[in-house]
Structure 1
């Protein structure tokens, strides 16, 4: 795994952290430092490992110590914990779910009213 790939992974996680958790900072390590305990523990441990791998990848000799499988696993865990979709997709999903629940409630209310009217022989 090349240093560029690890750098891109760390940048992507940093972008997602800024978008989802609203953490400001220059890089992934800075965002983790600023976020502190507000960052969930599993995300913090995986992102910390990714930031350390990013730092090691800058030196060609130290880059040999990096476990590519562990880096890929940490990156995947970070992506799954931060969510793959955008913020707007989350709001859209929430709105659709809310609308569906309102429509379902209205349908159940209409069915209940029709049942009561039929029971009272008014329909």
Structure 2
């Protein structure tokens, strides 16, 4: 599989699994940011640079195909291991837990203030 097809597949997985929008692999990788581990961000950056070089015939010969295939395989393996529904559920649960805590804390402060003013 050539580099353009691999990066298109990875861009599709970034959108499906991490809900990252954008045009092309480079933009989606940049927007994914800290959703990806550092070593995978670096491998993705290497793939994005290789995609830019692949348009030029002389620069294409300088690319290390084995390293690029390994980087694409690692990134694809990680993205396929992510369950988007579980990720969305966890985001919602952590948001609602924070909101509940803040509401309870606010209610407690209001009751403490009313008790102090009454007494």
Instruction: Give the TM-score category using the shorter length.
Output: 0.5 to 0.7
Alignment partner for residue 54 of structure 1, among 39, 46, 51?
Answer: 51
For 1:64-79, what aligned pairs fall within 5 Å after superposition? 64-79=61-76
Correspondences of 1:12-23 after superposition (within 5 Å)? 12-23=9-20
Determine the C-alpha separation between the residues in 2 that align with 1:26 and 1:84. 23
Taking structure 2 as the reference length, the TM-score comes to 0.64
Confirm or deny that 1:9 pairs with 2:6: yes
User: For residues 92-107 of structure 1, what are the structure 2 equivalents within 5 Å?
Assistant: none
CA drift at 1:86? 7.5
Does the 8 Å contact 1:13/1:47 carry over to 2? no
Superposition RMSD on alpha carbons, in Å? 2.3
Query: Is the Cα contact below 8 Å between 2:54 and 2:60 reproduced in 1?
Result: yes
Structure 1 spans left out of the alignment, 5+ residues: 91-123
The CA distance in 1 between the partners of 2:39 and 2:31, in whole Å, is 17
Contact 2:17-2:82 at 8 Å conserved across structures: no
By how many angstroms is 1:46 displaced?
1.4
Q: Which of the two has higher C-alpha Rg?
A: 1
Measured after TM superposition, the shift of residue 84 of structure 1 is 6.4
Q: How far is 1:83 from its partner?
A: 1.3
For these two proteins, the number of residue pairs brought into alignment is 87
Query: TM-score, normalized by length of structure 1?
Result: 0.62
Unaligned 5+ segments in structure 2 are: 87-119
CA distance in 2, matches of 1:69, 1:31: 24
Q: Secondary structure at the match of 1:10?
A: helix
